[in-house]
Amino acid sequence: MIKEFHMENRQSLYNSLEPGSLAILFSGQSKRKTGDEYYPFFADRSFVYMTGIDQEQSILAALKYGADSVEEALYLLPPNLLEERWTGRRLTENQAQDISGAAQIKYIQEFTTYLDKKIQSGSLERLYLDFDKLKEDEPDNEAYKLAAYIKSRYPFVTIKNLNPQIRKQRTIKKSCEIEAMRTAEQITKEGIIAMMKASKPGMYEYQYKAEFDYALAQHGVLVPGFPSIISAGDNNFCIHYYSYKGRASDGDMILNDVGACYDNMITDVSRGWPCNGKFNEKQRLLYQCAYETSNYMFDILKPGIPMTEVDLTARKYNYERLKEIGLCDKYEDVGKYMWHGGAHHVGYDVHDLVAPADTMLTAPGMVFCVDIGIYCEEWGIGFRLEDNCLITETGCENLSALTPRSMEEIEAIMGKR
């Protein structure tokens, strides 16, 4: 992404603030793994969305004085030749400016002094932070720690949450985001096809994963957009499976739920295939149900549909297909075979931060998954068919349609047709 993209994102954020408001976002920092070893750093996605900066211990601070007057600064770790010798070069002021377009670049040691000074001057009435805990028992991150500091020292400052505005902005993708996702889709396709072509009875799940990872690495994608889910046989009945230790037996279905990340945009694509390359009768029956349901969804999706209806429509349509093959007698039975929802948004996160679904209508620029999962334990068959849907002005586009989807395409790729 070019710096103008991040500058536009920040301007939209600032436009939502009242004068006298200070917005602060943190990139985060590495967490200790064990001993003196730390996990690889992964920057907060909303911070990257607003700045393009993925360096740890970075802070964006923007004080809005008036309708069109904003004072913004990006605070970074200072140069340190000894630490950089061990952990790599830190961004220079010029590099950070080129990436983010931020008006000022300062060093992290200056931040607390700046904050105290602004509060004490009386120019700051509200402090906006990104509060995004999923669970109450999560450790406090920098936003929660700063909120506690402000409450104890400056109780007259009102603290508000930036998260709803960030979600609103991230819901609609811009053209550069969609183009980056198209590239990620192409890379993901190559990884999935590599697994299909290598597939055979007796192959271990970690060998499938190695094929996928190798294909991505040829494009400079060293880490996928999210931990790959790749399983065989009974392991397909664990929705989020990460062991990779199972071995495919002749007749097993291979389930994979994978995606590349390109220029911060993530894809989320699922395909299922028989490890021996040829669908048997029961696999064919179930796959056809998922395939028809997915195709139906891409035929009807367009702007103006309540997001709450997308998943429900897929479940109802797939129920009719499962009923036709004798697995369901009544709609309540569908939960036995469809274990999860099928319409989460994708973007900077694989389960992207977006506006609340209960008030959302599909709109041009949204990208979400059409994920049809079928898990039939009595037949020993579990898989999902998941694609990325871009809502357009008049309908929708399947961004991941380039990855083989039909049984005929899959068998052809695997040399069985």
* Dist. CA 141–CA 134, nearest whole Å: 12
Q: Is the pLDDT of residue 283 over 70?
A: yes
Across the range 305-315, mean pLDDT stands at 94
Name the pTM for this structure: 0.94
Q: How confident is the model at residue 342 (pLDDT cuts 50, 70, 90)?
A: confident
| Other beta carbons within 10 Å of 152 | 8
| Other beta carbons within 10 Å of 314 | 22
Which of these three, 113, 137, 170, is where a domain ends? 170
* Dist. CA 208–CA 39, nearest whole Å: 25
Between 241 and 416, residue with greater pLDDT: 241
Element (H, E) at 229: strand 229-232
Output the domain CATH number for residue 374.
3.90.230.10
Element (H, E) at 100: helix 93-100
* Dist. CA 268–CA 387, nearest whole Å: 7
Are residues 240 and 109 part of one domain?
Answer: no
pLDDT digits (tens, 9 = 90+) for 65-111: 887 899 999 999 999 999 999 999 999 999 999 999 998 999 999 99
Across the range 48-55, mean pLDDT stands at 97
Q: Is the pLDDT of residue 402 over 90?
A: yes
Percent pLDDT > 90 in the chain is 93
DSSP string, 10-32: HHHHHHTSPTTEEEEEE---PPE
The rounded radius of gyration (Å) of the Cα atoms in the chain is 24
Element (H, E) at 61: strand 59-66
Output the domain CATH number for residue 7.
3.40.350.10
Q: What is the pLDDT of residue 313?
A: 96
Are residues 156 and 129 part of one domain?
Answer: yes
* Dist. CA 164–CA 157, nearest whole Å: 20
Are residues 182 and 154 part of one domain?
Answer: no
Are residues 330 and 194 part of one domain?
Answer: yes
pLDDT digits (tens, 9 = 90+) for 242-252: 999 999 999 99
Q: Is 337 in contact with 360 (CB distance < 8 Å)?
A: no
pLDDT digits (tens, 9 = 90+) for 149-207: 999 999 999 999 999 999 999 999 999 999 999 999 999 999 999 999 999 999 999 99
Q: Is 354 in contact with 360 (CB distance < 8 Å)?
A: yes
Q: What is the extent of the structural domain holding 91?
A: 3-170
Are residues 201 and 159 part of one domain?
Answer: no
Are residues 134 and 30 part of one domain?
Answer: yes
Q: What is the pLDDT of residue 417?
A: 61
Q: How many domains does the chain have?
A: 2
Look over the chain and give the mean of its residue pLDDT values, rounded to a whole number: 95
Are residues 219 and 76 part of one domain?
Answer: no
Q: Alpha helices of 249-306 — where are they, by DSSP H?
A: 281-300
Q: Is 212 in contact with 228 (CB distance < 8 Å)?
A: yes
Q: Is 378 in contact with 285 (CB distance < 8 Å)?
A: no
